[in-house]
């Protein structure tokens, strides 16, 4: 995995291009978008990938883009992500529109989505998160599960349950969930357990009630007003 702050000739070329052609970043080919990426950007990406986001490697491996997706009930959250990333130059500044698609039993679902530009410096993220096309928990997640990343994960895919809190980790294996609770304890001293999601081979992570106050203190500075209900 390349270091997030490595600078090289390609980076110098990118700077020259940007200086020569202001505000034309969207026209660059993915191969010329190489970073580096600061800690907040990487925290948002990794926190989102723990939830519903996906890393998509483009044809011919010219780069990878990160796609964000939410139901329309969480429009405010997705618009917050879009504003942050577009303000940092990572995607088009056009406000994402709500679209519809057919869900289970023909039910119409309203969704909102957007993607970053394609970056060759996102390829390592795709390679760490995907094995044979399946999204997996990378062993490096402990390096990127910051307070901001944890808050993003909560807003993306978390919910209060009784006096505790759960993460909907249904798409991850039992062993991957076990590793995540190890990282939660290692990074934040949060106590959690892996529980059945009610379907074979699907699991949730449950934060114990004794750790809820600590959880709230850690992530409160990063939770946007529209999503504070998840912690109350």
Residues 1-30, mean pLDDT to the nearest whole number: 42
- Going by pLDDT thresholds of 50, 70 and 90, the confidence category of residue 78 is very high
Q: Judging by beta carbons within 10 Å of its beta carbon (0-12, 13-18, 19+), is residue 91 exposed, middle or buried? A: buried
Q: pTM score, two decimals?
A: 0.83
- List, for residues 146-173, the tens digit of each pLDDT value: 999 999 999 999 999 999 999 999 999 9
What is each CA distance from 58 to 86, 122, 193, in whole angstroms?
20, 11, 36
- List, for residues 217-227, the tens digit of each pLDDT value: 999 999 999 99
Tell me what pLDDT residue 126 has: 96
What is the fold of 9-231? Endonuclease I-creI (3.10.28)
Tell me what pLDDT residue 55 has: 97
């Amino acid at each position: 995995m390349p270091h997030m702050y490595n600078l090289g000739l390609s980076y110098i070329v990118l700077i020259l291009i940007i200086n020569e052609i202001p505000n034309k970043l969207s026209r660059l080919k993915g191969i010329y978008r190489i970073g580096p990426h600061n800690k907040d950007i990487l925290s948002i990406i990794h926190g989102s990938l723990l939830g519903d986001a996906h890393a998509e490697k483009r044809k011919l491996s010219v780069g990878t883009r990160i796609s964000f997706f939410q139901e329309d009930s969480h429009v405010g959250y997705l618009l917050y992500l879009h504003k942050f990333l577009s303000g940092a130059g990572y995607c088009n500044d056009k406000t994402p529109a709500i679209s519809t698609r057919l869900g289970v039993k023909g039910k119409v679902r309203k969704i909102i989505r957007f993607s970053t530009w394609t970056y060759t410096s996102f390829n390592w993220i795709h390679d760490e998160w995907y094995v044979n096309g399946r999204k997996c928990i990378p062993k490096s997640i402990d390096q990127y599960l910051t307070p901001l990343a944890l808050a993003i994960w909560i807003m993306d895919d978390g919910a209060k349950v009784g006096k505790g809190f759960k993460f909907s980790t249904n798409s991850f294996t039992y062993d991957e969930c076990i590793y995540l609770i190890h990282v939660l304890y290692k990074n934040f001293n949060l106590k959690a357990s892996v529980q059945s999601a009610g379907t074979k081979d699907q699991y949730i992570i449950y934060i114990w009630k004794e750790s809820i106050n600590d959880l709230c203190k850690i992530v409160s500075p990063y939770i946007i007003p529209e999503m504070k209900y998840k912690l109350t």
